[in-house]
Amino acid sequence: MDKIQAAIAKARAAREGRIPPPKPVAPSKATPVVGGPMSKRSQLIRPATDRASIWLPLANFVPSPKKMARQRIVTFSNSAAKPEGAAAFDMLRTKVLQQMRAQGWKRLAITSPGKDCGKSTVALNLAFSLSKQAEVHTIVGEMDMRRPTLAKALDLSGGGSFAAVLEGKASFTDVAMRARPNLAFAVNYGPVRNSSELLQSSTIEPALDEIEARYQPDLTIFDMPPMLQTDDTLAFMDVVDCVLLVAAAESTSLAEIDVCERDLASQTNVVGVLLNKCRYMDNETGQMGYD
């Protein structure tokens, strides 16, 4: 794995030498750090008055611990003895949170070059890890409209879809499901027609602004589709503050990581590349490579 990291660093260095640096991301995309100029989005966010009572009416659900374990959601358990891999996600949580708070970022997308790299698994683990910090409120929004998987992973059925919220046809309050007092999910219950158009639609930004204005999440995590099959994900990067790129150690090539990281960096802030599905690890966590 050291070799993979070294090779990524080498590819990145080579790239930096031959490619001009990405254009700086417009500051208005991130909520400004305290004292900075007020963005349109931050003006919409009310002071954090009694956030708990605003979240309380959201429909509650209780994921099955056995199902979560089968899905590799190792951060779900609250037991003192952490399951294997949980410590790595807690470390990822701390780094992501620190970086996002320092920059005033609120929206994190999780994507990967190809399919099956572990985006949804990482999104869920990060979300449950974050939920252990009572003051941190997180929303997970499923943006994989073609092949949604979160409802099945979480054993949710029959509710309204996040896609309808983003189209302005349903309210987040009616669609969101709360797994913890400070963790809510908005998922899709089947493939969404015209998913490409929706991901690039002008209705998304006002819909997200409205959710943030009411629920004041510290973070919204977007579980994205893979990058290399469509341009849906790249188009959506204009709407987020930052992105985490997940690669699968034994199926993602360095060239794929390189091209995706470069494309993402031209649109938003890349908070790291996470190598998932590593078979040979010092600490046997299966994840590494966050930077």
Ligand X SMILES: Nc1ncnc2c1ncn2[C@@H]1O[C@H](COP(=O)(O)OP(=O)(O)OP(=O)(O)O)[C@@H](O)[C@H]1O
> Which chain residues interact with ligand X by CB under 6 A?
71-72, 112, 115-121, 144, 147, 149, 226, 276-277, 286-287
CA–CA distance, 45 with 214 (Å, rounded to integer): 7
Q: In what order do the strands lie in the sheet with 183-186?
A: 59-60, 177-180, 183-186, 138-142, 219-223, 107-111, 242-248, 269-276, 287-288
We find the least distance from the C-beta atom of residue 55 to ligand X, in angstroms, to be 26
The strand pairing partners of 114, in sequence order, are: none
Cα angle 117, 118, 124; round to 5: 160
We find the least distance from the C-beta atom of residue 223 to Mg ion, in angstroms, to be 6
The partner in contact with residue 277, picked from Mg ion, ligand X, none with C-beta cut-offs of 5 to 8 angstroms by kind, is ligand X
Of 116-155, binders to Mg ion (CB under 5 A) are 119-120
Of 171-210, binders to Mg ion (CB under 5 A) are none
In the complex with Mg ion, which residue's Cβ is closer, 100 or 110? 110
Cα angle 16, 22, 23; round to 5: 155
CA–CA distance, 30 with 107 (Å, rounded to integer): 8
By rule CB under 5 A, what count of residues binds Mg ion?
A: 2
In the complex with ligand X, which residue's Cβ is closer, 214 or 277? 277
In the complex with ligand X, which residue's Cβ is closer, 269 or 276? 276
Task: Give the residue from 274, 185, 264, 187 showing the smallest Cα distance to 227.
Answer: 264
We find the least distance from the C-beta atom of residue 107 to ligand X, in angstroms, to be 18
Residue nearest to Mg ion (CB): 120
Q: Could you tell me where the DSSP H helices lie in the chain?
A: 2-18, 40-44, 51-55, 65-70, 86-103, 119-131, 150-154, 162-166, 172-175, 195-199, 204-215, 232-236, 254-265
In the complex with ligand X, which residue's Cβ is closer, 30 or 199? 199
We find the least distance from the C-beta atom of residue 190 to Mg ion, in angstroms, to be 15
We find the least distance from the C-beta atom of residue 67 to ligand X, in angstroms, to be 12
The 10 Å Cβ neighbour count of residue 132 is 15
We find the least distance from the C-beta atom of residue 23 to ligand X, in angstroms, to be 28
Task: Give the residue from 257, 75, 274 showing the smallest Cα distance to 183.
Answer: 75
In the complex with ligand X, which residue's Cβ is closer, 58 or 109? 109
CA–CA distance, 181 with 58 (Å, rounded to integer): 9
Residue 72 interacts with Mg ion (CB under 5 A): yes or no: no
In the complex with ligand X, which residue's Cβ is closer, 183 or 246? 246
Half-sphere exposure (Cβ direction) of 16: Cα atoms closer than 13 Å: 7
Q: Look-up: residue for tokens 């997940």?
A: 246
The partner in contact with residue 121, picked from ligand X, Mg ion, none with C-beta cut-offs of 5 to 8 angstroms by kind, is ligand X
The partner in contact with residue 118, picked from Mg ion, ligand X, none with C-beta cut-offs of 5 to 8 angstroms by kind, is ligand X
In the complex with ligand X, which residue's Cβ is closer, 112 or 268? 112
We find the least distance from the C-beta atom of residue 277 to Mg ion, in angstroms, to be 14
Q: Using CB under 5 A, list all residues that contact Mg ion.
A: 119-120
